[in-house]
């Protein structure tokens, strides 16, 4: 592949050639051409493609550049009249609005907002542009600003109408009015949520006082969990009992169905439920009244499923039954209270937060964006759950409990969007699924200062990854934080409906991983201008004109020059490298290695033994925070990922370098160093399995 592409030298298409533009009318014509080209590209783009439409962006940007290059110059000209200027500004505003939409579709909400702002600045009556602004603020969870913008959109539509100059777009007005209603609903919901949050702080003061945290409500951020004192690394900040939890399917025959501890092979038969033969209790749980009753309640259901619907004995289905059984307990006779929980829980040395049904249902704020098809699926599942209950517990069972089908659907969606998979701390294999309502209170950051795991009682425990100062917010991560900023933001927006504006994202999104192929200088908007793309550049990057070396070039996302990818510790390339290497390992495992076309990858695929690749990954991760302004070290952020990759390094070393005991020992020491403070290894129920996995 030639690194310098052909580009169009035709003067008519070159925006730098402005000789012929003499007045606003001509400028309008020129910019309109770019807009049309941009619109063409926009309409060609597959709507399901969630990458930025770079070709459309390029044409629109050329239009904007053309305006910026000529407007001031022409303004001093006598040839222009006021109306021409207004028309011109309206056109530029539309282009900004279109750019904003491109960036919304590409999940780059910060840039989308920037363009929408410019668009409304230059023409305050551009209602579409106000509408886009409103959308951006919604993604940023700033609903007050969003409401302001949607009102501006509505006002400007009415203004345009009154002027009689523009024929109002009825469907646009409809869309905006609907959106306004939605935002109003959301604001009401937020108010309710704020009140619920304040209520809980009062009602549950004693429970929360057991932990060094403070629950607060912050405008624009919602509920936040703050440190109520200076906290050293490894401090337990929260411990939450499951509202309900279940084992993974493949663990049912090995682990305790209540506390999830592994049961010794020799006693498994004795610990199995005689009735359903599908449930085990460990020696401690089998003498605990609570855990015995817990299973008694579901035993007939499991038995029924096994007999009549063996394919429905899935984890999620079993989970739903456990959740509903507790909902019913809470609704019917209030027996679902902290005092009635397992004696093992109540007598444990560590305190825990207990969530009644009320606090589960309060999590419904996450349901705004559930897709209709998904809703239908929930509905079908809810109906079959009700049918089974009514069959086994009497035809009026559900009516008598006071649980409606809509409520079950709501519970279903809450549980599935807030459920936490329980993971083994070393290899991250899932062994269970639980819902821990208060565990959902911690907000997300891509630079988290807290980490969670499940302890020997199946509780969700949060510990600090580094020292936290009094008053600082305690944050955990909802996504893989070793992926690139744009990937994380996309994932969080799709999965959790917010555009991440954490410290790390704000820092990393400003970094550039693009450099000029000719002069090797880093590219930024101040030293480049856009070029018309050639036909092959749909996904591969922008065309630009480097103002430093005055050459035309094509931007590429990841330089072919591998040395620059693999040595830089100072920007996003570190994360690119990590992801590239992780991909390589995934592909190796799927043994489709030879399918990789990129020459660098091919070299890496063939040339590097597995353990070297994992070494590269851990090294890159360790160094990734060196120039980060947060001054946090990698092992205090990427603790979890480091443990994972050091463990893979350990496993591959054992195969590829079994005699290198010195290296094996040092990797093992590193893993234990990372692991010990954050899961409190000495008391962990994973202790023996970890020791076994780290034997060599």
213 binds Zn ion (CB under 5 A): no
Nearer to Zn ion, 495 or 598 (CB): 495
Question: Tokens 């739903």 correspond to what residue?
Answer: 320
The nearer residue to Zn ion, 548 or 680, going by C-beta atoms, is: 548
| 20 C-beta neighbours (distance < 10 Å), count | 9
Choose, by CB under 5 A, the member of 141, 292, 549, 632 that binds Zn ion. 549
Does position 299 interact with Zn ion (CB under 5 A)? The reply is yes
Q: Which stretch binds Zn ion (CB under 5 A): 133-141, 297-305, 350-358, 458-466?
A: 297-305
Q: How is residue 495 written in tokens?
A: 């999965």
Q: How far is the CB of 260 from Zn ion (least distance, A)?
A: 7
415 binds Zn ion (CB under 5 A): no
- CA 573: distance to chain centroid? 21
Q: How many CB atoms lie within 10 A of CB 330?
A: 19
Alpha helices in 475-624 (DSSP H): 485-496, 503-510, 562-567, 573-589, 599-607, 610-623
Q: Pick between residue 95 and residue 422 the one whose CB is nearest to Zn ion.
A: 422
Residue 545 has which token pair?
């004109």
Whole-number minimum distance, CB 496 to Zn ion, in Å? Answer: 11
Give min distance, CB of 401 to Zn ion, in A: 22
Q: How many CB atoms lie within 10 A of CB 582?
A: 19
Q: Which is nearer to Zn ion, 185 or 218 (CB)?
A: 218
Binding mask of the shown chain, residues 138 to 177, with x at each position contacting Zn ion by CB under 5 A: ----------------------------------------
Mask for 249-278, x = binds Zn ion (CB under 5 A): -------x-xx-------------x-xx--
Which distant-in-sequence residues (6+ apart) come within 8 Å of 468 by Cβ?
227, 230, 231, 235, 449, 450, 474
Residue 131, classed as helix, strand or coil, is helix
* Among residues 519, 592, 626, 655, the one that binds Zn ion under rule CB under 5 A: 519
Rounded CA Rg of the chain: 29
Smaller CB distance to Zn ion: residue 237 or 276? Answer: 276
Please say which residue, 261 or 379, places its beta carbon nearer to Zn ion. Answer: 261
Of 131 and 258, nearer to Zn ion (C-beta) is 258
Q: Which two tokens stand for residue 206?
A: 């004693």
Total residues at interface with Zn ion (CB under 5 A): 20
Contacting Zn ion (CB under 5 A), which of 102, 183, 282, 465?
282
Beta carbon nearer to Zn ion, 262 or 588: 262
Closer residue to Zn ion in complex, CB, 365/685: 685
Give the interface segment with Zn ion, choosing from 84-92, 419-427, 439-447, 657-665 (CB under 5 A).
439-447
Identity of the residue, 58 or 477, whose beta carbon is nearer to Zn ion in the bound complex:
477
Closest CA to 503 of 526, 477, 525: 477
Q: How far is the CB of 518 from Zn ion (least distance, A)?
A: 5
- Collapsing DSSP to helix, strand or coil, 255 comes out as strand
Phi and psi, residue 521, nearest 5°: -75, 150
Residue whose CB is less far from Zn ion, 276 or 414: 276
* Nearest CB to Zn ion, comparing residues 320 and 517: 517
Closest distance between Zn ion and the C-beta of residue 273, in Å?
Answer: 3
Name the minimum Å distance from CB 474 to Zn ion.
Answer: 16
Min separation Cβ 523 and Zn ion, Å: 8
CA atoms of 508 and 110, how far apart (whole Å): 13
User: How near is the Cβ of 206 to Zn ion at its closest, in Å?
Assistant: 27
Among residues 272, 191, 280, 216, the alpha carbon closest in space to that of 471 is found at 216
How far is it, in rounded angstroms, from Cα 574 to Cα 571? 6
Q: Does 481 bind Zn ion (CB under 5 A)?
A: no
| Residue 423 within binding range of Zn ion, rule CB under 5 A | no
Site string for Zn ion, 482-511 (x = CB under 5 A): ------------------x-x--x------
Helices then strands, each counted (H, E), the chain: 25, 13
Helices 143-163 and 170-203 pack at an angle, to 10 degrees, of: 160
The answer to whether 55 and 42 have CB atoms below 8 angstroms apart is: no
DSSP state of 515: B
Of 450, 546, 642, 690, the residue at the interface with Zn ion (CB under 5 A) is 546
Query: How would you write 36-104 as a 3-class SS string?
Result: HHHHHHHHHCCCCCCCCCHHHHHHHHHHHHHHHHHHHHHHCCCCCCHHHHHHHHHHHHHHHHHHHHHHH
Q: Considering the complex, what minimum distance in angstroms separates the CB of residue 287 from Zn ion?
A: 10
Cβ 630 to Zn ion, closest distance in Å? 12
Question: Out of 518, 562, 568, 587, which residue is the one contacting Zn ion (CB under 5 A)?
Answer: 518
Among 111, 132, 279, 318, binds Zn ion (CB under 5 A): 279
Nearer to Zn ion, 283 or 471 (CB): 283
**Joined tokens for residue 15:** 């925006």
CB of 614 to Zn ion, least distance (A): 26
Closest CB 452 distance from Zn ion, rounded Å? 18
Q: Is there binding between residue 225 and Zn ion (CB under 5 A)? A: no
Distances, alpha carbon 570 to alpha carbons 524, 574, 617, 623, 629, in Å: 16, 7, 16, 9, 11
Is 674 a binding residue for Zn ion by CB under 5 A? The answer is: no
Query: Between 61 and 508, whose beta carbon lies closer to Zn ion?
Result: 508
Burial class (CB in 10 A: 0-12, 13-18, 19+), 24: buried
Q: How far apart are the first and last CA of the chain?
A: 47
How far is Cα 414 from Cα 411, in angstroms, rounded to an integer? 5
The distance of closest approach from Cβ of residue 355 to Zn ion in the complex, given in angstroms and rounded to an integer, is: 21
Query: Minimum CB separation from Zn ion for residue 178, in Å?
Result: 30
Tokens 């549980």 correspond to 415
Q: Which is nearer to Zn ion, 53 or 504 (CB)?
A: 504
Residue 497, Cβ density class (10 Å: 0-12 exposed, 13-18 middle, ≥19 buried): middle
**CB-based contacts of 139: which residues, under 8 Å, 6+ apart?**
104, 109, 493, 497, 498, 499
Phi and psi for 214 in degrees, rounded to 5?
A: -135, 130
Q: How far is the CB of 505 from Zn ion (least distance, A)?
A: 3
- Does position 475 bind Zn ion by CB under 5 A? no
- Does 109 contact Zn ion by CB under 5 A? no
Task: Measure the CA–CA gap between 210 and 240, rounded to whole angstroms.
Answer: 12
CA dihedral 370, 372, 374, 376 (to 10 degrees): 130
Q: Which range, of 179-187, 330-338, 453-461, 549-557, touches Zn ion by CB under 5 A?
A: 549-557
Among 285, 305, 360, 605, binds Zn ion (CB under 5 A): 285
Instruction: Determine, following the binding rule CB under 5 A, whether residue 94 of this chain makes contact with Zn ion.
Output: no
Determine the length of the chain: 696
Nearer to Zn ion among residue 421 and residue 487 (C-beta): 487
Contact 59, 34 (CB under 8 A): yes
Q: Any contact of residue 446 with Zn ion (CB under 5 A)?
A: yes
Q: Measured from the CB atom, is 389 or 646 closer to Zn ion?
A: 389
Element (H, E) at 412: helix 405-418
Q: CA 40 to CA 35: how far, in whole Å?
A: 9
CA–CA dist 353, 460 (Å, integer)? 10
User: In the complex, which residues of this chain contact Zn ion (CB under 5 A)?
Assistant: 256, 258-259, 273, 275-276, 279, 282, 285, 299, 446, 500, 502, 505, 516, 518-519, 546, 548-549
């Amino acid at each position: 592949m030639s690194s310098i592409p052909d580009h169009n030298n035709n003067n008519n298409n070159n925006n730098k050639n402005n000789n012929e533009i003499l007045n606003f009318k001509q400028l309008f014509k020129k910019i309109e051409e770019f807009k049309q080209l941009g619109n063409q590209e926009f309409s060609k783009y597959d709507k399901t493609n969630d990458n930025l439409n770079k070709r459309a962006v390029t044409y629109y940007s050329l239009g904007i550049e053309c305006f910026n290059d000529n407007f001031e110059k022409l303004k001093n000209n006598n040839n222009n009249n006021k109306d021409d200027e207004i028309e011109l500004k309206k056109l530029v505003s539309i282009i900004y609005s279109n750019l904003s939409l491109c960036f919304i579709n590409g999940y780059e909400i910060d840039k989308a907002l920037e363009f929408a702002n410019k668009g409304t600045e230059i023409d305050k009556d551009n209602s579409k542009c106000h509408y886009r602004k409103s959308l951006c603020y919604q993604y940023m969870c700033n609903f007050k600003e969003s409401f302001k913008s949607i009102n501006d959109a509505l006002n400007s539509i009415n203004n345009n109408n009154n002027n009689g100059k523009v024929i109002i777009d009825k469907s646009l007005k409809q869309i905006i009015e609907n959106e306004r209603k939605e935002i109003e609903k959301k604001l009401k919901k937020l108010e309710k949520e704020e009140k619920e949050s304040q209520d809980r702080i009062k009602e549950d003061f004693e429970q929360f006082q057991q932990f060094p945290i403070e629950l607060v409500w912050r405008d624009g951020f919602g509920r936040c969990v703050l440190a109520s004192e200076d906290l050293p690394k490894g401090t337990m900040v929260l411990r939450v009992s499951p509202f309900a939890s279940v084992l993974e399917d493949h663990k049912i025959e090995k682990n305790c169905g209540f506390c999830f501890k592994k049961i010794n092979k020799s006693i498994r038969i004795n610990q199995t439920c005689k009735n359903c033969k599908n449930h085990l209790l460990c020696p401690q749980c089998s003498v605990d009244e609570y855990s015995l009753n817990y299973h008694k309640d579901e035993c007939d259901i499991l038995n029924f499923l096994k007999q009549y619907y063996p394919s429905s004995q899935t984890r999620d289905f079993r989970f739903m039954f456990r959740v509903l059984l507790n909902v019913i307990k809470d609704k019917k006779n209030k027996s679902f209270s902290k005092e009635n929980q397992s004696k093992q829980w109540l007598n444990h040395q560590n305190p825990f937060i207990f969530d009644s049904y009320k606090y589960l249902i309060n999590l419904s704020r996450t349901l705004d964006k559930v897709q209709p098809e998904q809703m239908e699926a929930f509905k079908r599942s809810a109906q079959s759950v009700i049918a089974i209950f009514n069959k086994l517990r009497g035809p009026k069972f559900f009516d008598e409990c006071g649980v409606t089908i809509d409520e079950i659907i709501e519970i279903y969606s809450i549980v599935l969007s807030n459920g936490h998979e329980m993971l083994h701390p070393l290899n991250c294999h899932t062994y269970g699924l639980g819902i821990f309502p208060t565990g959902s209170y911690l907000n997300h950051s891509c630079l988290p200062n807290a980490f969670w795991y499940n302890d020997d009682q199946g509780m969700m425990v949060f510990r600090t990854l580094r020292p936290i100062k009094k008053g600082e917010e305690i944050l955990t991560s909802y996504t893989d934080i070793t992926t690139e900023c744009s990937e994380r933001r996309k994932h969080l927006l799709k999965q959790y409906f917010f555009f991440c504006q954490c410290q790390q994202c704000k820092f990393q999104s400003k970094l550039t991983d693009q450099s000029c192929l000719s002069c090797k200088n880093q590219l930024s908007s101040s030293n480049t201008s856009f070029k018309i793309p050639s036909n092959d550049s749909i996904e591969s990057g922008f065309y630009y004109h480097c103002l430093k070396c005055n050459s035309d070039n094509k931007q590429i996302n990841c330089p072919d020059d591998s040395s620059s990818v693999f040595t830089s510790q100072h920007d996003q390339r570190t994360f690119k490298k990590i992801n590239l290497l992780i991909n390589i390992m995934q592909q190796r495992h799927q043994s489709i290695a030879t399918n990789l076309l990129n020459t660098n990858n091919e070299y890496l695929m063939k040339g590097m033994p597995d353990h070297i690749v994992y070494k590269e990954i851990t090294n890159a991760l360790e160094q990734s925070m060196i120039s980060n302004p947060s001054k946090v070290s990698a092992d205090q952020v990427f603790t979890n990922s480091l443990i994972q990759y050091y463990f893979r390094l350990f496993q591959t070393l054992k195969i590829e370098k079994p005699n290198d005991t010195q290296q094996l020992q040092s990797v093992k020491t590193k893993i234990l160093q990372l692991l010990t403070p954050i899961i409190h290894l000495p008391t962990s129920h994973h202790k023996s399995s970890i020791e076994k996995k780290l034997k060599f």
